Amino acid sequence: MTSFVIIGAGECGARAALTLRERGFAGDVTLVGSETLLPYERPPLSKEGLQQGVEPKWIADAGRYEDLDIAVRTGVTATDIDRQQKTVRFSDGSTLGYDRLLLATGARPRELADVASPLGRIRSLRTHADTLALQPFLQAGRCIAILGGGFIGLELAASARRLGASVILLEGLPRILSRGVPAEIAALIADRHAAEGVDIRCGVKIRSVTETDANVSIDLEHADRVAADVLVVGIGSVPNTELAARAGLAIENGISVDSSLRTSDPDIFAAGDCCSFPSVHFGDRRLRLESWRSAQEQGIRAAANMTGAADIRTSVPWFWSDQYELTLQVAGLADGATTIIRRNLSPDAFVLFHLDGEGRLLAASGIGPGNAVARDIRLAEMLIAAGRRPDPAALANPDIKLKQLLAA
């Protein structure tokens, strides 16, 4: 019987396993994860997942996998792939044969160089276990320091303030959200955090980090020092490519895949945070996306192609972040944009459109309460996918529906 093996039981791997059955694949499906839990959603970890007693949001329950005859192995790690024998070896010494293999190994938090944490006061936020370890620090009378002013750091800051902890956020660059978010929107978010009492310090450089039984001390340049009960490091992530590299697969800012998500071995696919792929929407530029929707979509597409489909669709990059009552959404990539057009949707919601020198829409960034910008960002995403060059005056005019520009 044909056997498909999926390494990585996160969003991407779980969606791939479920999709194989939904497409009628009748062979063996084995989903393997290094965590001891069933696959769960990661976006809530920096939000409601930090609340006391909240269990993970399961992608599917145990009964669902059993009903679909999907074997889920948890608490084991793949250590080696034998491409000639088409087997995978695991940390418990067992091996598993495959006809086709999907690597959905994800990414891990980037660590501070030469900084250890034997006392557990220097942490990251990637897993449910991480949220459990942070919960005792997220309450009134505690101080949490966060290194990194990206989505994870800022979402954690908002959650910590709602739970009563004081927050000091340290960012090495001149502003928060330097990666992919316009300065105008970043400034608005920074002001919102400041209004909640978050102490944001940008342009700082760390000289050393020391933890004791009582606290963690962060020494900054210019003799500044920050003391907190815990330091959470959120300075980006590193794709988990070691397994693929040991197997001799091509690596290029992640496991290198083609437009069908195949690696350099035609029987091995890769998807999600661990892989880089050519984007037809941006001149076949090789991208590696770290987002919930990308992981989900690529898992579904990889499963289809493992069963013989020829799905080479490439989605437009899309990101979102919830902080307090605000939701930020970004579609596309603004690199290379020469013009920014603002579209005011209401007094507290707007979208920025990013156009290149030829007038092609490259990206759209919006912010507002709740779902205020969701529809416009979705339509902008469709305009980007279609390669449209919309009239800037029409983009700026909220009375002209983006749907009209898409139909034009």
| Proportion of the chain above pLDDT 70, given as a percent | 100
Mean pLDDT of 338-343: 96
Closest CA to 12 of 262, 295, 290: 295
| Cα-Cα-Cα-Cα dihedral sign, residues 56, 58, 63, 68 | negative
Which is more confident, 312 or 186?
186
CA distance 76 to 328: 36
pLDDT at 343: 98
CA distance 167 to 170: 10
Residue 223 has pLDDT above 80, yes or no: no
CA distance 228 to 103: 38
CA distance 324 to 329: 14
- Weakest mean pLDDT among 91-100, 114-123, 134-143, 392-401: 114-123
CA distance 329 to 350: 11
pLDDT at 311: 87
pLDDT at 52: 76
pLDDT in tens, 18-74: 999 999 999 999 999 999 999 999 999 999 888 877 889 999 999 999 999 999 999
Mean pLDDT of 377-397: 96
Is 161:344 a contact under the CB 8 Å cutoff? no
pLDDT at 361: 97
Mean per-residue pLDDT of the chain: 95
CA distance 107 to 342: 34
pLDDT at 309: 92
Mean pLDDT of 122-135: 95
Residue 238 has pLDDT above 90, yes or no: yes
pLDDT at 382: 96
Confidence label for 7 from pLDDT (cuts 50, 70 and 90): very high
Domain ranges of the chain: 3-108+237-306, 111-233, 325-407
Residue 355 has pLDDT above 80, yes or no: yes
CA distance 32 to 101: 11
CA distance 79 to 238: 18
Closest CA to 287 of 310, 313, 265, 254: 254
Superfamily of domain 325-407: FAD/NAD-linked reductase, C-terminal dimerisation domain (3.30.390.30)
Burial of 59 per CB tally in 10 Å (0-12, 13-18, 19+): buried
Please tell me whether the overall predicted TM-score, pTM, comes out greater than 0.85 for this model.
yes
State the fold for domain 111-233.
FAD/NAD(P)-binding domain (3.50.50)
Angle (nearest 5°) at CA 194 between 124 and 188: 95
Same fold, 3-108+237-306 and 111-233: yes
Which is more confident, 293 or 114?
293
Query: Could you tell me the end-to-end alpha-carbon distance of the chain, in angstroms, rounded to an integer?
Result: 51
pLDDT at 146: 98
Find the helix or strand (DSSP H, E) in which 242 lies: helix 242-246
| Structure tokens that stand for 24 in this block | 């009628």
Closest CA to 126 of 141, 102, 148: 148
Confidence label for 115 from pLDDT (cuts 50, 70 and 90): confident
Q: Give the Cβ contact number of residue 205 at 10 Å.
A: 10
pLDDT at 166: 98
pLDDT in tens, 158-185: 999 999 999 999 999 999 999 889 999 9
CATH 3.40.50.10470 fits 3-108+237-306, yes or no: no
Q: How many angstroms from the chain centroid is the CA of residue 211?
A: 29
Confidence label for 118 from pLDDT (cuts 50, 70 and 90): confident
Find the helix or strand (DSSP H, E) in which 16 lies: helix 11-22
Angle (nearest 5°) at CA 111 between 262 and 153: 90
Amino acid 135 reads Q
How far apart, in Å, are the Cα atoms of 317 and each of 5, 21, 283, 376, 390? 27, 27, 14, 15, 19
Buried b (16+ CB within 10 A) or exposed e, 302-313: bbbbbbeeeeee
